[in-house]
Structure 1
Amino acid sequence: MAHRTLRAEPGEGERPRPVITRFLRYQQRDQVLALARNRGPPVHQGQSIFIVPDRSSERAKKRATFLTIKSTPHKREATVVQLQTHMQKTLGTLSQSGSVYRQRQLRESLALLELDFVEFREFTQETRGNKSGGNKSGGNKSGGNKSGGNKSGGNKSGGNKSGGNKSGGNKRRHKTQTEPQQHQTTEEVTSRLEAPVLLHGIFKLGKKSHDVLLTRIQVSWTPIIPETPTGHIEKVRRMECVSLKDVFAVKVKRRRVRGQQTGGAVMGVTLFCCRRRGLRLTEDSIHLHNTSIDYCHTWYTTLKDLLRGFNSRPRYLKVFINPASHKKEAVYIYREEVAPLFSMADIQTDITVTERKGHALSVLKECRLDEYDGVVCVGGDGSVAEVAHALVLRAQLDASRQPDSDPNPLRAALPLGIIPAGSTDVVSCSVHGVRHAVTAAMHIVLGHLQQVDMCGFHSLGHLVTFGFSAMFGFGGRSLALAERKRWLPPTQRHEFAMVKTLARLMPEECQLSFLPAQKNHSNLFEQRSKEQNPDPDPDPEPERAGSWRTNQGLYLNISIMSIPCLSPHTPRGLAPITRLANGSAALISVGNTSRSEFIKHLKKYRESSGQFSFSFVETHSVSAVRLRPRVLVRDKEEEVSKTAPTIQSERAFPWNIDGELVEISSEVEIRVHPRLITLYGEEVDEADDVPVTCGCI
């Protein structure tokens, strides 16, 4: 630090002389100015020492031009209107521009206009409340304003600067985000700009000081760039931000020695947020460094209050862990990847490690659900189906309704979170888009809710289960064979069962009846079907909703799915033409054909389209299905000759319902119940692709 004086030392009773001080580091200069502004002028031998920034003549002229605008109220109002009009024009040009370079220029211009709009709006609101413009109680010292802006910041206790206007010397902040929004509407921009400023202060991010601004929507920060002696800015300041809806925890950062568990010197505030990389959600942290205890406490309590305002975020969860799922990694996945996130977000848990099949069902029937905000299942599709069935069944029991005969069951009371720990995890992939435990935990922590359709499976007038999908024929027989080879590793077991079932491929004769979905649901299904499989000769007689249709014949496989059933092996899903909550299910029937053609059909699921383009494959959007299987009784002496089929009720037919083997010997009726359960997640169109591990297909 160096200093010089402009005249000799004054005598007694004379005016004090000015002293120009130059700091080696601009951070120290900013700290001195901030202390002088917040605590008032220091006193030495009864005389007040006024500390103000030194400016060049060129800088003073620029400030004088800005004073003409802020001195006249109607000019400020006209400037705000002009900025709004210019912003709308820039948004319209951005949506029509096809050049990437031009779009980047327009987005930077839009960021500058947004900053100017905020500065003029805040300054107008502040000056309206002050009759003379010099509110002494708020600490507004016009002589100490930095670069011509209103930096009054009346909150002395925390050092907060509510105005923060620094636009006098062509200092403009460019807003950048982790993922820039390509299409931004005027309503979104206006809602973000009109958010009230709660706190404004100086923190150090990394090795640089930043202006940090907190609103009810986001936290933004802009680097503080020092000026040259002539007042010229060599670099453009770029503003970054994080939305509060992506922040799930805030902590006070402290410095502690080894072994120290509590206390420690305050180092600042840390925000824990979610970063999106494609479909994956990962944990990230933002460190705001400041050693002031009161300052950090003000920011910490304010951020905590804002995060508590998200009502969809859970505070107390019931967790079920299936230790026997897939590779028996469920306990490890929860302890290492999920539990730390729950603890960081201050979520309390009640954990139950299941010991047998049906354990979660028995627990949910007896426990008090009103104590929890949600239920979490760590396991495969079978565990998820059991917990989902238990939640829906509990809702019927609490309302004293009969689930066997009730055509409109009640919705589950609590949302269900799914942590994937199985072999395929189609339900988790359908609501997360990826098999990633951290992504699933982030959706739970942030309270992302998605309503999902479910199916009720009935036989002989009794409820079998509630589920998301079912397969009869090839899918059921391959699962039954895999269950008999439990001693094999999971991957080898499923590969062996698929190859063996393909080698013994045989059709089942069924009487298949279905009720087409309503028009508003079927149109979405038919539209997606036409996009993926254009038919040059469409059916001139479309399906009529409200009347049952019946087909009878030989089928290799029949699938009923109320969700797309995404998985890493089928990125577009087994039923890509249905959605999570469209009120209908996809009925996919594969007729009798050769083994080679059936394998070609299975291979097409790896591609984005074409799996339904075969002549032996039919797809329908349905709201109910009835399936009555039959057995072909062949004469032992004439195995080639065809005989009339007869109903054989003694035989139990294998069904694959959500990855669980269910054997049913009679007719099965499936009813689609729209939005019967709420899951933690969001709607996705395609899952992350991974190489296929099964060599048979």
Structure 2
Amino acid sequence: MLRHRRVAWVEPHEEGRGDREGAQGRQWSAEEEEEKEEGEAGAEGDPVLLRGIFQVEKKSCDVVLSARRLRWSPIQPERVAAAGGGSSMVPQHKEEYIEIQDIFSVKLKRRRHAGQQKGGLLLGIAIFVCLKKEGNKLKDSILNLSNLSEDHCHLWLRHLKELLSGFPNRPKSLKVFVNPSSHRREATQIYYEQVAPLFKLADIRTDVTVTEHKGHAFTLLTECDLASFHGVVCVGGDGTASEVAHGLLLRAQMDAGLDMDNMLSPVRAKLPLGIIPAGSTNTLAHTVNGIQHTLTATLHIILGHLQSVDMCTFTTSNKVLRFGFSSVFGFGSRTLALAEKQRWLPSNQRKDFAVIKTLANLKPEDCVLSFVPAKHLQQDAQENDRYLIISHVLLYLDLGDQWHRIHGHFLNVSIMAIPCLCSMAPRGLAPNTRLNDGTLALIVVRNTSRPEFVKYLKKYASVKNQFSFPFVETYIVEEVQVCLRTEKEDGPRDRLNSVDSAENSCPWNVDGDLMEWPSEIHIRVHPQLINLYGRMIDAIDETKGSCSCL
């Protein structure tokens, strides 16, 4: 148990200076005042707001609060030659600090008896800080400033809270959707045990809905009043996140009065979206945070770290079917369709079974791909090797903004607006695009032998050269039209989002959601269409991943 002693304190006047008491109750000397002024002057553009004495880790410290930092340095007695003799307290120069932007909560710390709800002996101030641990992982920590004075602690508490309220992107109220069916049905437990206590600590009000069926969150987002919320949070996997993002964007178009049958320029989502990873696949959370980690995702939301992210519209006959981040058809979509039929199996077994069986029945899709190359990347492609994965990329980029077509038998086609990082692809499924560069990565895998295709899948676990195969083609584009020639041209097209198979529809994997769509789909990227809580990742983690089924 900590021992507490009486610690002197000071309430600075409007210039942050004046008489100050030392740990032994004496005033600072003129020489000490000069030294303090020099320290304050060193932080240009960051004037001192408060200065006082607290105990930090059982040491008396000189603590300084400014708009940008909270700094402290231990005070130890040193003999100072003076005309009258004696000793004085001189601040040491071993200074530590934390950034104000990394503080997410401030509370008074009190000692209470068992069962006591209010009051108690004041011990000081507890400051809750977000720290970067390793790589992209964040953790929370506590800095205790011990002082027994009620007035002194309340003064510091008020100033600290005023500083924290000055960050405009930090949410004060959140609408939360929890998918109880995600992965191992752990989403509800994850939220209430790991996420909700941190939201409460940060004084964030929440309105929680535990979804009852697929599409529940989407329906609520298009109908409920969102004016009182500063953001939306979903707890689940990629399918849950994609559904909520789609709902937010569709609600924004409805509020703007836009025609959903002819949407060339959709408006941005009004509220940012936070994703707490709790599903079998968490590609979206992994991509925006650089790691699949519940605490990291939660702290990004609390601190209001926002990242603008590109999204796509998927249309047919000028009707918008879906907003999404990434899509796959061919091997990737057929694997998902097979996995959805095996819901009775555990998640990992279901995925492994679907991959192995789809590989056993591997067959290509006969289709025509039309696309518009990304115009603004033509010069960059010659200087940046992330656009030069294969030699013929430049051939198409140099042709300007005309539509280009390729026809053939393709085992898999990926069309992605974000890199799609995951445990088995540390550089991402589409490392040749970024979160907000306004481009789509079109990755085409032509027909090849099963052993070669398996080598290609395994290559994703590498940190380089995953597209170095003669049957793999990659393009940086802005629009893509997909026309599957294996379907009848005159079949019905009214069952756009049905999970049940139709004669003229084919399975698509859109952000981990299975869609049964017509054979002709148009995909267009829309730059920075939504804000996600997270942080831009510049350096890709090069830790190798693995897929247990390959």
Does TM, scored on the shorter chain, surpass 0.5? yes
Q: Distance in 1 between matches of 2:541 and 2:100?
A: 27
Instruction: Identify the structure with the greater helix proportion.
Output: 1
Alignment of 1:592-611 (within 5 A): 592-611=447-466
State the AA in 2 paired with 1:273: V
User: Deviation at 1:194?
Assistant: 2.2
Query: Which residue identity is paired with 1:684?
Result: I
Which residue is equivalent to 2:434?
579
Tell me which residue corresponds to 2:443. 588
Equivalent residue, structure 2, for 1:254: 110
Alignment partners' CA distance in 2, 1:373 and 1:525: 39
1:673 to 526, 529, 538: 526
Q: 1:630 to 1:366 in 2, by over 3 A?
A: same
Work out which of the residue numbers 52, 58, 63 in structure 2 matches 1:201.
52
More strand by share: 2
For the Cα contact (< 8 Å) 1:429–1:687, is it kept in 2? no
SS at match of 2:445: strand
How far did residue 238 of structure 1 move?
Answer: 1.1
Would you say the 8 A contact 2:381–2:387 is kept in 1?
no
Shift in CA distance, 525/260, structure 1 to aligned 2, threshold 3 Å: farther
User: Cα distance, 1:444 vs. partner?
Assistant: 0.5
Letter matched to residue 459 of structure 2: K
Q: Shift in Å at residue 406 of structure 1?
A: 1.4
Instruction: Name the counterpart of 1:495.
Output: 352
Residues 523 and 233 from structure 1, CA distance in 2 versus in 1: closer, same or farther, beyond 3 angstroms? Answer: farther
1:195-227 superposed Cα distances (whole Å, 9 cap, x missing partner):
110100000011110000000111000011221
Root mean square deviation, CA, Å: 3.0
Which residue pairs with 2:261 in the alignment? 404
Which of the residues 643, 652, 668 maps onto 2:505? 652
Give the alignment's TM-score, normalised by structure 2.
Answer: 0.89
Partner letter of residue 354 of structure 1?
Answer: T
Aligned equivalents of 1:442, 1:629: Cα separation in 2: 44
- Change over 3 Å in CA distance of 1:400–1:145 after alignment to 2: same
Structure-2 change in CA distance of 1:233 and 1:307 (3 Å): closer
From the CA coordinates, give the structure whose radius of gyration is larger.
1
* Cα distance in 2, alignment partners of residues 622 and 690 from structure 1: 29
User: Percent same amino acid at aligned positions?
Assistant: 47
Task: Using the TM superposition, name which of 223-232 and 652-661 deviates more.
Answer: 223-232
Structure 1 328/541 Cα, relative in aligned 2: closer, same or farther at 3 Å?
A: closer
Of 296, 316, 319, 2:153 maps to 296
Give how far 1:630 is off: 1.5
Shift, 1:544, TM fit? 2.8
**Per-residue Cα deviation, 1:361-394 (whole angstroms, up to 9, x for no partner):** 1101111111110000000000000000000000
- Paired AA for residue 653 in structure 1: C
Does the alignment pair 1:551 with 2:406? Answer: yes
- Letter matched to residue 211 of structure 2: T
Alignment of 1:516-535 (within 5 A): 516-519=373-376, 521=377, 528-530=384-386, 533=389
Verify: 1:165 aligned to 2:47, yes or no: no
Asked whether the equivalents of residues 386 and 432 of structure 2 are also in contact (C-alpha less than 8 Å), the reply is no
- Separation in structure 1 between the aligned mates of residue 11 and residue 346 of structure 2, nearest angstrom: 68
Residue number in structure 1 paired with 2:84? none
Shift of residue 329, structure 1, vs aligned partner? 0.6
Contact 1:408 1:673 (8 Å CA) reproduced: yes
* Gap change, CA 1:552 and 1:216, over 3 Å in 2: same
1:320 and 2:177 equivalent? yes
**Distance verdict in 2 for CA 1:210–1:668, change over 3 Å:** same
How far is 1:243 from its partner?
0.5
Following the alignment from structure 1 to structure 2, what is the Cα–Cα distance between the partners of residues 666 and 386? 22
CA contact (8 A) 2:73 2:91 kept: no
1:226 maps to which residue?
77
Name the SS of the counterpart of 1:499 in structure 2: helix
Which digits, 9 at most, give the CA deviation of each residue in 1:136-195, with x for residues without a partner?
Answer: xx5599xx76454354xxxxxxxxxxx87288xxxx99xxxxxxxxxxxxxxx98x5321
Whether the 8 Å CA contact 1:456–1:465 is kept in 2: the answer is yes
Q: Aligned-pair distance for 1:690?
A: 6.9
TM-score by length of 1: 0.71
How many corresponding residue pairs? 525
Distance 1:276 1:524, change over 3 A: farther
Q: Aligned-pair distance for 1:480?
A: 0.7
Is 2:244 aligned against 1:393? Answer: no
* Structure 2 unaligned spans of 5+: 82-86, 492-502
> d(CA) in 1 for partners of 2:406 and 2:328?
17
Q: How does 1:83-102 map to 2 (within 5 A)?
A: none
Provide the secondary structure at the position in 2 that maps to 1:309. coil
- How far is 1:518 from its partner? 2.2
SS at match of 2:437: coil
Out of 349, 352, 375, the position equivalent to 2:206 is: 349
Aligned residue among 218, 239, 245 for 1:361 = 218
Q: 1:397 to 1:370 in 2, by over 3 A?
A: same
Q: Distance in 1 between matches of 2:396 and 2:212?
A: 53
Q: Cα deviations across residues 236-259 of structure 1 (Å, max 9, x unaligned)?
A: 641110011000110011111111
**Alpha-carbon distance change, 526 to 619 in structure 1, aligned in 2, over 3 angstroms:** farther
CA shift for structure 1 position 497: 0.5
> How far apart are residue 694 of structure 1 and its match?
3.5
The CA distance in 2 between the partners of 1:539 and 1:320, in whole Å, is 44
1 CA distance for matches of 2:320 and 2:90? Answer: 73
Alignment of 1:15-54 (within 5 A): none
Deviation at 1:686, TM superposition (A): 5.4
Tell me, yes or no, if structure 1 residue 663 matches structure 2 residue 519: no
Match of 1:561 among 403, 407, 416: 416
* Matching residue's letter, 2:283: V
Mapped to 2, the partners of 1:310 and 1:263 lie a distance apart of 30
CA contact (8 A) 2:234 2:244 kept: yes
Rounded Cα–Cα distance in structure 2 between residues aligned with 1:38 and 1:474: 68
